[in-house]
Structure 1
C-alpha cells in the first residue's frame, strides 16, 4: 500500500473510531476492504480512482469467487471511505456513488418450532417473580411479534385488556394496534398483579409494563440475557434472541395461511416485500383474521 493510501486509511480509521464510534470488528472489516482496494490500485492514488476503476475492482473480486454478501460488505466499506473523503473536502466527487452491489437473495431468518416455543415457556420457573415476568414477556413477544424495544417501551396505558390489543409505538414513532393472545394477557395480568404491584417503582419508570427487580424500566440487555439463559437451560442448540420470537410469530402465521398484508400490519413493516421474507409461497392474500392461524390461539 503506497504512502498516500496509508495516510488516508489512517485518517479514515480515526474517523470511524472517534466520530462514528463503530465497533472494533466493524472498523477492522472496513479497513481490510480499503486495503484490498489499495493493493488492487497500486498504480493510482485514492484521489485518482474513478467509477470505472471501482467497477473493475468489483468484477475482479467477483471473479475470485467471493460471496455476494462479502462483496456487498466490501462495497459498503468502500462507500464509507469515499464519503469520508468527501466530508473532509479531500474529494469533490464520490466515485462510489453510482456503484451497485450484487443482488442478495432474501433468506428466511432462524425460527423456533411451536414445540420449541412450548419447551422454552414450560421451562420457566413460575414460582419466582423473575419467572413470572419472563413468562409474560415471552408470551407477548410470541403472541404479538414485537421488536424488543417495543416490548421494553410498552406502557400500561397502551395495553387494552378488554379489547385484546396493544398499542405499539414502532420505528419512526409510527403507531399500530396489535392483537395480543389470551395466554399473553393472562400471564401479563399474573405478572402485573403478583409482581409489579409489589415493587417499589423508581421515578420515571411508572408508565412501563415490564420492570426490573429494582423497580426500574427493564433493559433490552436483560431481555436478551434472559432468553439466552433459558435456551441454555433446555439445551437448545439454536442461537436465539428476542427477534427470534418475532420471526417465529410471522413464520407460524404465514405457514398457517394468514393474510400476508395482515402480518405486514402486525409487524409494522413499511413494505410488504419486507414481510415476504417469511414465505416463499406464491399465493393470494387469503383466509381470515390473523389470530385464527396462531398456534396459541
Structure 2
C-alpha cells in the first residue's frame, strides 16, 4: 500500500485495521495463549505452577475462601497460621520465606514445632490443618501438581481428661472479683456467663446486649458470630440473671457499642484481653492444678451438663458443634456414671 492509497482510505473514513504479521509469529500463538485472560490483579494471574510463590498462592486461596463466605474468625486463622509457616521458612532457609515448600520443608516445620517450640500435638495439628487445606485446594484447582502435605500425616493426640473447675474453685473465682467496681462486676458476669452457657469466648464477646432475654434467661448467638455459622440459643441460671440485671442498667447509660461485654471505656472487649482478665482472676484466687481460661469453663459446662442430664444431643446444640465427635469425648470422660451403672449391673448378676 503506497502513501496515496493510505490518504485516500483515511478520507473515506475506513479503519486502518490491516497489518502484516510474520507467519512465524502467528505459528507461536497457540490456542492456550490466545485464550489467556489478563487480570488487573497480579495476585490472581494464571501463572504456571513453577512460578507460584507462597504469597500469590495464599492471596488466591484467601480470596476464594472470602468468596465462599468464610467467617472472619476463620480468615484470621488462615492469616495467623500461614505467618507461622513463613516465620519458620525465613528462619531456617535464609529468608527464602516466599517459595512454595515441598514435603521435606513441611516435615522440618513439624519437627521444629515439636522440638524447638515444644508445642502440644493438638496445637501443631491446628496449624497444619489450616495450611494443609490451602495446599489441597491449590492441588485440586490445578495450580500445583501435588500438595506438599501428600503422605504427611497429622500427629497423634492422646485423649487426655478435660480440665474442669470444681465448685470450690468456682466460689474462689467469684470471691476474687471486686463486685463494688464495674470491672469486678463485669468480670464476675463474664465468668458466670461462660460457665452457664458453655459458649466459646469469641462467640460470647460478639453477643449484643439486645440479644439477651432476662425473663427467659437466654441469649442468641447469631449465625455470623458462631464458629459453625449456625445461629443457636443458649441459656443461663439465676446467678447470671442477677448479675446481668445490674450490669445492663450500666450498659444502657454508658455503653458505646452494641456488644454485651464492654471494657471500662464502653467499647467491645477484646478476646485476648478477656482471656488475660480471667487468667489473672485465677491467679488471684490461687487456683492451681487447672488452667483458668474460657475454654476450661466450656469443658466444665459440658462435663457438668452431661453428668446431670446424660443427653449428648442437646449438649451438641448448646455447644454449637457440627458433629457428635467432640461431644462423645465428654460422654466418655464421665467415668463416675459408668461406675455407678456397673455397680447396679453387678448386684443383679
Q: 1:89 to 1:30 in 2, by over 3 A?
A: farther
How many correspondences in the alignment?
249
Shift of 1:27: 2.9
- For residue 237 of structure 2, the aligned residue among 160, 176, 181 is 181
Contact 2:57 2:138 in 1 (8 A): no
1:280 matched residue in structure 2? 332
2:306 matched residue in structure 1? 254
1:118 matched residue in structure 2? 171
Secondary structure, counterpart of 1:213 in structure 2: coil
Contact 2:197 2:235 in 1 (8 A): yes
- For residue 268 of structure 2, the aligned residue among 217, 224, 227 is 217
Measure, in 2, the Cα distance between the counterparts of 1:254 and 1:23: 33
Shift of 1:143: 0.6
Q: 1:30 to 1:260 in 2, by over 3 A?
A: farther
Q: In the alignment, is residue 26 of structure 1 matched against residue 84 of structure 2?
A: yes
Contact 1:156 1:208 in 2 (8 A): yes
2:161 matched residue in structure 1? 108
Shift of 1:102: 5.4
Secondary structure, counterpart of 2:233 in structure 1: strand
- Structure 2 residue runs of 5 or longer lacking an equivalent are 1-49, 63-77, 94-99, 112-118, 336-349
Contact 1:211 1:218 in 2 (8 A): yes
1:43 matched residue in structure 2? none
- For residue 234 of structure 1, the aligned residue among 259, 277, 285 is 285
Shift of 1:233: 0.9
Q: 1:97 to 1:139 in 2, by over 3 A?
A: same
Secondary structure, counterpart of 2:300 in structure 1: helix
Shift of 1:99: 5.1
- Structure 1 residue runs of 5 or longer lacking an equivalent are 1-7, 36-45, 62-66, 284-297
TM-score, L = length of structure 2: 0.57
Q: In the alignment, is residue 266 of structure 1 matched against residue 303 of structure 2?
A: no
Contact 1:12 1:81 in 2 (8 A): no
Shift of 1:80: 7.8
**Deviations 1:102-155 (Å, cap 9, x if unpaired)?**
554433332211221121012111011111111111111101111112211111
Contact 2:219 2:235 in 1 (8 A): yes
Q: 1:213 to 1:84 in 2, by over 3 A?
A: same
**Deviations 1:240-290 (Å, cap 9, x if unpaired)?**
22121111111122233431112111101111111122232689xxxxxxx
Measure, in 1, the Cα distance between the counterparts of 2:136 and 2:302: 37
Between 1:151-160 and 1:123-132, the stretch displaced more is 151-160
**Deviations 1:160-209 (Å, cap 9, x if unpaired)?**
1111221212224311111211111111111112x32442x33xx1x322
1:152 matched residue in structure 2? 205
Measure, in 1, the Cα distance between the counterparts of 2:204 and 2:131: 36
Secondary structure, counterpart of 2:173 in structure 1: helix
Measure, in 1, the Cα distance between the counterparts of 2:313 and 2:130: 35
2:345 matched residue in structure 1? none
Secondary structure, counterpart of 2:332 in structure 1: coil
Contact 2:307 2:334 in 1 (8 A): no
Measure, in 1, the Cα distance between the counterparts of 2:307 and 2:195: 15
Measure, in 1, the Cα distance between the counterparts of 2:131 and 2:239: 49
